[in-house]
Chain A
Amino acid sequence: MFKKQEENEIQSSETIVGTAVKLRGTLKSEGNVKIEGNLTGEIKAGGDLLITSTAEVKAKISAKNVTVSGVVNGNIEAQEKLEITESGKVFGDITSNILVIKEGAIFSGKSIMEVKSLEEEKEITEPEPEYELEENKKD
């Protein structure tokens, strides 16, 4: 099931670091990225990032959605969702709006969830009705 999901994500990846590749430096991509090999440095992805079970990553990471099935040493910043799957290991601080840690995953670090304050949410969900202001003016 999970393998199928991984395969679907692979299909849309713009950048792929294969299993037998050692990458050093800063990997930047506007699209989706899949890491299957060894990476040391930094990852900046405009799209989603998938770190597969064969991957070993020592890097500062930022991406839209991040899925970790391999080993990550370093801080992760996901703009939306961060998921650590059953085989995933993360040693570092993580920042995300949505966090999913599956049974069997390892996470050692600090987690910051960027949740909107209640007042901010109220402003978004309950805007002041404009017609009432119009009625007040008439009075």
Chain B
Amino acid sequence: MYYYIINPAAGNGKIDKIQKRLKGIIKRLGIEGEFVKTTGAADVYKLTNIALDKARNTIVAVGGDGTVNEVANALVDRKAVLGIIPIGKTNSVARTLGVFSWEEACQILAARKLEKIDLAKVTTIPQKPSQKVEEKYFLTSAELGFESQITKYRVEDNSFYKLLFARKVIKEVFKNHTEKITIEVNGNFTATTVMFTLIVSNCQISRQSKKFRPNPADRQLDILLVSKLPRWQLIRNIMAIIDKKYEDLSSTSIFKAKSVKVITPTPQDLSIDGEIFIQTPVEIEVVPQKLKVIVGKKRSF
């Protein structure tokens, strides 16, 4: 039995435009189920747990990366399977799993090809005994510095919103988003720099990126650390920054890791899917084969 969790705010209310057709296709393919709508991010976790209590075996996130991550968090160590109907502003998880449109997603759900994939887990490192340890799983990426400030405005299509996003990037890029950072990778080495941005990723982060393509089934995280850039280089590379295609910049470092500690002199906001979650210092580790997902033939791993 399928359980569809719809985020009505995803993709600027895209569900309102497609709901009738979506339900029609779902009925035709014989994958009907219960439809529920969220009223906020916290709802997704609660609704997923309600579905699990009702012994639903397939939970379908109808939304963007944020909705998918919330469902994934609730499915950790549970038997149910995650399906995706991508209607968000960013759909990098769906794309990595080979789901490129909501219409195609229905066919993929009906075909029900399953794969086990890795999750990443971020844990805070308390600086005082009174501080609580917080933790969260994610499928996509954790971001620090410039990207954590800008990521909530990101859109993947070529709509009017992308133009607004480009304007926002140009405005933000010249603000002082630099901070000294040390990352400790696998306990083997430390890398220190003045950071522009840091991305720790489990899934592909950019449609344009050809070289930096994290694989959610390789039991590793991919780290992209961009050091401070001179102003002229920021201007020259503005299109790469808009497309989140940092790997060609000379100030970029790339590592693969099973775990990474992120340490900054002062606490910095770490975002996961556009939401500021916690502040540094944190430890991020890969948790292999933690989630069962329905994938398409064109998946990237």
Tell me which of B115-123, B188-196, B264-272 binds A.
Answer: B188-196
Interface secondary structure of A, over-half rule? strand
Q: Give 1 or 0 for each of A112-126: 1 = CB within 8 Å of chain B CB.
A: 000000000000000
Interface residues of A in 7-36 (CB under 8 A from B): 11, 13-29, 36
A41 to B189, CA, bound (A): 9
Question: With a CB–CB cut-off of 8 A, which chain B residues contact A36?
Answer: 250
Do A22 and B192 have beta carbons less than 8 Å apart? yes
* Bound CA–CA A18/B246 (angstroms): 12
* Interface of chain B: mostly helix, strand, loop or mixed: strand
Contact in complex: A23, B225 (CB < 8 Å): no
Is B67's CB within 8 Å of the partner chain A? no
Do A37 and B188 touch across chains, with their CB atoms under 8 A apart? no
B227 in contact with A25 (CB, 8 Å): no
Write the chain B residue with the least CB distance to A54: B250
Say which residue of B251, B254, B255 sits within 8 Å of A19 (CB atoms): B251
What is the bound-complex CA distance between A26 and B252, given in angstroms? 19
A interface, CB within 8 angstroms of B: 11, 13-29, 36-37, 41
Q: A15-B256, A18-B225, A28-B188 are in contact. List 7 more A-B contacts (CB 8 A).
A: A16-B254, A21-B225, A23-B192, A25-B188, A25-B190, A36-B250, A37-B193
A-B contacts, 13 listed (Cβ < 8 Å): A15-B254, A15-B255, A16-B252, A16-B253, A18-B226, A18-B251, A18-B252, A21-B253, A22-B192, A24-B189, A24-B192, A26-B188, A37-B253
